[in-house]
Structure 1
Amino acid sequence: FNLSKFVWDSEENSELKCEIQEAKPKLKYWLYRENSRHYHVFEPIETVLKNFNWERTEVDSSTSATIHYDWDLLWAFEYIRQIPLNYSKLKHYQRINHIPGNVHLVLKSYMATNTDLKYVPKAFTDIEELTEYANKHPEKRFVEKFKANRGVSLKKVSEMNLTDTNNIYEDYFAQEYVEDPFLINGHKFDLNIFVVITSVDPLRVYYYGKTYHLRFCSKPYDPNNFDDVDTYAISDSHIPGIQFPFVETLINNSYSAKDAVHTYLKGKGLDPQIVDDQIEDCIRKIILMKEPKFIQAIKATSGAHGKNHFFEFVRFDFILDSKLQLYLMEVNMSPNLIPYKSVGYKTIFDNVAFNVLSLVGFEGSLNGSRVRNVLNDDLFCQKDCLTVLPEMCLKKPCNESCDNSECDLCFNCMDEFIIEDLKLAYYEHMRIGDFVRVIPPSNESMMSDRSYFTGLSYKNDLYARWCLEMCKTFNLSKFIWDSEENSELKCEIQEARPKLKYWLYRKNSRHYHVFKTIETVLKNFNWERTEVDSSTSATIHYDWDLLWAFEHSGSIPLNYSKLKHYQRINHIPGNVHLESMMRDRSYFTGLSYKNDLYARWCLEMCKSNRHFS
């Protein structure tokens, strides 16, 4: 399932579109890169923000005194510690795309040498420690890597120069070489996964599950010849995944790179789920390990609203060995979304950028921005969207006191900060798009394997238990921007917008009160009611977008051939109720060809990990 953004854009309405956009209040973004000549790296992010009707603002970041704070989003390419921000001046809605302390995750040498995890090959910055380890393990080989930049070469330990000049762009470290890599058609490759950390304490982490980003070595792998780095390392001359022949064949037939890898594995008699399970497990465990460093660094910023200012978008780069053991090579901060090697990546990267910005809450201009309105929009997320365990919270001791630990999921016992976290979690669930939640794990995973809860911090444990309970009581509601603070501005914007029209039909016009709930929501969506004389087919006009009828639409003398593509009617001719085909296979008995085809497609979409349900 692919989520895309509606942009009203036709020549016929272009002039009106401009007038409406000018009337809308605009959120502002600031793009920061130390070298201003390289702003092209922001292109996909900026494309989406402009489609959201955001406005770019310039900021003089030469000193703390020259920085202004009239912006909603700072998107920086480098570490934010290089920017002389005064975090105490930040407003509650201002967001920054890096988490303080992220160096412990994204700097290759830090991550590799300070992470005791089966997915991370052992690494060294000290030549004496490396030599001692190599002598104990003569069967192992090592690669020399830059601490920050790309650059890998297989060397003997005696040839390595593990410098420490405090220049991460020139210093090296060493890491175990992963022997016997898994190959596709004779080529070594890496498998890249985009990840978003939307919160720490508690952690909320998601990965882009729609596809893999693949890169192949430009030359076939040769286990007997390591003189040519292009046979065993991903260099600048690598082959983009979507141009690798086997993958390209599937992509040309409308499948994804992920489908291609899964198909190849199945062809070898291997289970692709082994790979996906390891990807989730590695992402989860390594970010949980680094969270204390994030919390410590965030506290040091003395930000006005603490952790809520920060999120992180990164890319995990993995490789597989021939036994499908997964290994993490590095975590890229500010992953490059520029399709410089293949224009085919543009739509993929634009979709990634759109999903990231939607998940974090930057859906549109002021009225559509979750981060602007999270503290006061009770229409999208009401209290009953967050409450769980009524059978416990309404009884003793929880209904009398919050002193008992069992009451910590009771809404009345939660402090405002936890409630705000749960609101944001609820929003993210509603706008998850092509992302998959990895922290906490899926509810099915937590229910089948309770080991996730071992050693969790209080807030991570609380959030995971809340997710499990929400699975039992989940309530879907619709976001409507409606706060007293912005009511005047809201009216101005609504007056400038073109209005969609609805027609309410009931035979007995005295009983229009049955439409009260539907009409309340449509009016909050700024729709306009239109009257239609339905006495004959000749008197009916078709200047409406939605017909909501109480009776069967067959009782209305409509000329269906006059309907425009966007007009919708709330009844299906011959409408029937469909039982769940997952629970009851009898649904398929006697189905028409198209209904059977669509039902089977839905089932297969669920299997392909696109969370189509």
Structure 2
Amino acid sequence: MIGRTVAKSGFTVRRNSENWSGAWGPPMSNVKVKTLKLFQKVNHFPGALQLSRKDCLWRNMKKMIDQFGRSEFNFTPATFVLPEDSRRLRKIFETHGGVWIAKPPAGSSGNGIHVVSKWCEIPKRCPLVVQRYISRPRLIQGVKFDMRLYALITSVHPLLVYVYSEGLVRFATSKYIRDVEHLYDRYMHLTNTSVNKTSPRFRPNDSLDKRKGNMWSLNSLWSYLASRQQADIPKLWERVKDIVIKTIISAEAKIVETSDSTLPSKYNAYQLLGFDIILDDDLNPWLLEVNNQPSMDPDTPLCSIVKGQLAKDFLNIVGFQIPDTIPAEDARYLMEKYKQSPLCLDNRLHEITLTETEKGKQDRFVNGKNRADYLRNILDTLTPDDVRHLIRYEDEATQLGGFEKIFPTRTTYDYHKFFDKPRYYNRLLDAWEEMYASDKTRGILRLQKLCEKKYHLPGSFAALDTPRDI
């Protein structure tokens, strides 16, 4: 689906090439990431395995639970990482029993998953993540289901997170029976399409609006739950967004540290994530896992519809720019074709080297303890580096398609307490939202006037920005 989408946009898809603009594939090694050219963009932030590896994800979640309490992070089932937690888990088995689900830390597509009720059923010779099984899931027509949601991170410093308004609802192919005698029926307990499409009972769906077969669109599920089960969908959606934001923040410090030490430019990376969430019988959402490279294959007609639009929308937000290394003749041809000049990537827009003035401002505002300390003054005088970050921020807002920006917004300041430490750019955007969220035109006009003076470009000697420039 990715190849088809970029080909329609005029790009050439190649399997092996050194001179490429964008890549979609597994994570590169940190050594290879450091060699990226300034015009190249990959689909993984270094360190993002902290979210997708189930053992890393749980360790990050446990850190947050220990620091902020279970009430703030009450969306993950009790989890143990083996072999390090083997003694504790065995004691719980012997004392309380229950049903558990064991997964390989880096597994996907339902491979290597076991639903168990006895300690002797857990494999002992390989690393595992063992979670309390959600044994009372919300059912539709007696069948278990989960939701595949899509979140997009375009930057980790500042943190910019979007969630897609559409998604996929994946149904099992056997009716759910809450009995240990049926724990071995993968078609009953696993909702992965890769598992259930091998069942003779699997039925595809070919419409966003039809509630049929073993896959629905997310909005069809919302319609069903609202009309048939009286669910409060806006409230449920807010809880889902809360899960996405908190989950990403749990790993933010490690991702920022790795990305800052390896990426040559902030242009070089983005991350599309697949969040798998299940609803229990009380309609509480639970995070099952996060996929760092969600499948974009058109497994079913409905997959093709949802993923086709998803690919178009997230690639538009990410924004691939034409390299500044193309021949001058090609550049002239493209400028004439698209009636735009300049057309090629200007690396100055992604400059990460700070002047002494910019360093001084960042030190001053990142060390303030209270929000009021920076809300009052951080926007009084914007540095060229500030303007570059704000331009990117507002540019992305014009390309949302089916995405919704969920962090930062004017109402997300409360999430700042979950970060490992304050970060200047997060505070800058928080203040920008507070000042301009209700009047975006005024904020954009301020940036436009600065851009006309080329104030945002390194080496510019334009006058300092002040609110009087508005």
TM-score (norm 1): 0.56
In the alignment, does 2:421 pair up with 1:421? Answer: no
- What does 1:468-507 align with in structure 2 at a 5 Å threshold? 468-475=434-441
Q: Residue 141 of structure 1 contacts residue 176 of structure 1 at CA under 8 Å; is this kept in 2?
A: yes
Deviation at 1:162, TM superposition (A): 4.1
Give the letter aligned to residue 294 of structure 1.
I
- Shift in Å at residue 271 of structure 1? 1.1
1:109 aligned residue (32, 50, 55): 55
Residue 304 of structure 1 corresponds to 264
Does residue 286 (structure 1) correspond to residue 244 (structure 2)? The answer is no
1:320 corresponds to: 279
Q: Which residue of 2 aligns with 1:467?
A: 433
Specify every segment of 5 or more residues in structure 1 that has no aligned partner in the other structure, as ranges: 1-43, 61-67, 165-170, 378-403, 484-613
Taking the aligned partners of 2:308 and 2:11, their CA distance within structure 1 comes to 16
Find the counterpart in structure 2 of residue 598 from structure 1: none
* Rounded Cα–Cα distance in structure 2 between residues aligned with 1:294 and 1:411: 30
Q: Structure 1 residue 319: deviation in Å?
A: 0.5
Question: 1:213 aligns to what?
Answer: 168
Give distance in 1, aligned partners of 2:406 and 2:221.
Answer: 23
Matched with 2:417 is: 454
- The match for 2:88 is 129
Would you say 1:87 and 2:34 are equivalent positions? yes
Cα distance change on mapping 1:317 and 1:242 into 2, 3 Å: farther
Match of 1:198 in 2: 154
Q: What is the letter of the counterpart of residue 88 of structure 2?
A: E
How far apart, in 2, do the equivalents of 1:423 and 1:241 lie? 47
Q: Shift of the alpha carbon at 1:109?
A: 2.5
1:55 to 12, 18, 23: 12
Deviation by residue 1:129-155 (Cα, 9 ceiling, x = unmatched): 31134345x153211112222232211
Kept after mapping to 1: 8 A contact 2:21/2:320: no
SS in 2 for 1:110: helix
Higher relative contact order (CA 8 A, sep 6+): 2
Amino acid at match of 2:304: K
Describe the shift of the 1:376–1:282 C-alpha distance in structure 2 as closer, same or farther (beyond 3 A). closer
**What CA distance in whole angstroms lies between the structure 1 residues aligned with 2:309 and 2:36?**
33
Give the Cα separation in 2 of the matches to 1:73 and 1:181: 40
* Distance change in 2, residues 1:267/1:247 (3 Å): farther
Q: For 1:270, which of 231, 236, 240 is the aligned residue?
A: 231
Give the AA of the match of 1:199.
S
User: Any idea what the Cα deviations from partners look like across 1:426-456, whole Å, max 9, x if unmatched?
Assistant: 0110111110111124x3x44xxx5334355
Kept in 2, the 8 Å contact 1:163–1:172? The answer is: no
Residue identity opposite 1:90 in structure 2: K
d(CA) in 2 for partners of 1:257 and 1:222? 24
Per the TM alignment, residue 246 of structure 1 is displaced from its structure 2 partner at its CA by 12
| Inter-CA distance 432–411: structure 2 relative to 1 (3 Å threshold) | farther
The answer to whether structure 1 residue 159 and structure 2 residue 101 are counterparts is no
Task: Render the CA deviation track for 1:464-515: whole Å, top value 9, x for unaligned.
Answer: 2212322133126899xx99xxxxxxxxxxxxxxxxxxxxxxxxxxxxxxxx
Query: CA offsets, 1:216-256, max 9 Å, x none?
Result: 0011101123231211112434269994699863589xx95
- Give secondary structure in 2 for the equivalent of 1:438: strand
Q: May I ask how many residue pairs the two structures share in their alignment?
A: 383
Could you say which structure has the larger radius of gyration?
Answer: 1
Amino acid aligned to 1:147: P
Could you tell me how far apart the structure 2 residues matched to 1:45 and 1:229 are? 30
| Counterpart in the other structure of 1:431 | 399
Task: Provide the C-alpha distance between the structure 2 equivalents of 1:320 and 1:423, rounded to a whole number of angstroms.
Answer: 39
1:348, CA displacement in angstroms?
A: 1.9
Distance 1:406 1:257 in 2: 38
Which residue in 2 is equivalent to 1:75? 24
- Deviation, 1:57, is 4.4
Report if the CA contact (8 A) 1:113-1:122 is conserved: no
Q: Which amino acid is 1:160 matched to?
A: I
Q: CA deviation at 1:300?
A: 3.0
Is there any run of 5+ residues in structure 2 with no aligned partner, and where? 63-72, 323-333, 351-372, 453-470
Q: 2:311 aligns with which of 347, 353, 357?
A: 353
Q: Distance in 1 between matches of 2:399 and 2:54?
A: 32
CA distance in 2: counterparts of 1:473 and 1:246, whole angstroms: 38
8 A Cα contact 1:407 1:413, kept in partner: no
Q: Is the 8 A contact 1:266 1:272 kept in 2?
A: no
When residues 99 and 188 of structure 1 are mapped into structure 2, their CA distance, relative to the original with a 3 A threshold, is same
Answer whether contact 1:89 1:304 (CA < 8 A) is retained: yes
| Cα shift at 1:71 | 2.4
| 1:323-402 → structure 2 map (5 Å cutoff) | 323-340=282-299, 342-362=300-320, 372-373=345-346, 375=348
Which residue of 363, 369, 378 maps to 1:409? Answer: 378
Q: 1:121 to 1:413 in 2, by over 3 A?
A: same
The 1:284/1:86 distance shift into structure 2, 3 A limit, reads closer
Alignment partner, residue 137 of structure 2: 181
* Residue type at the aligned position of 2:267: N
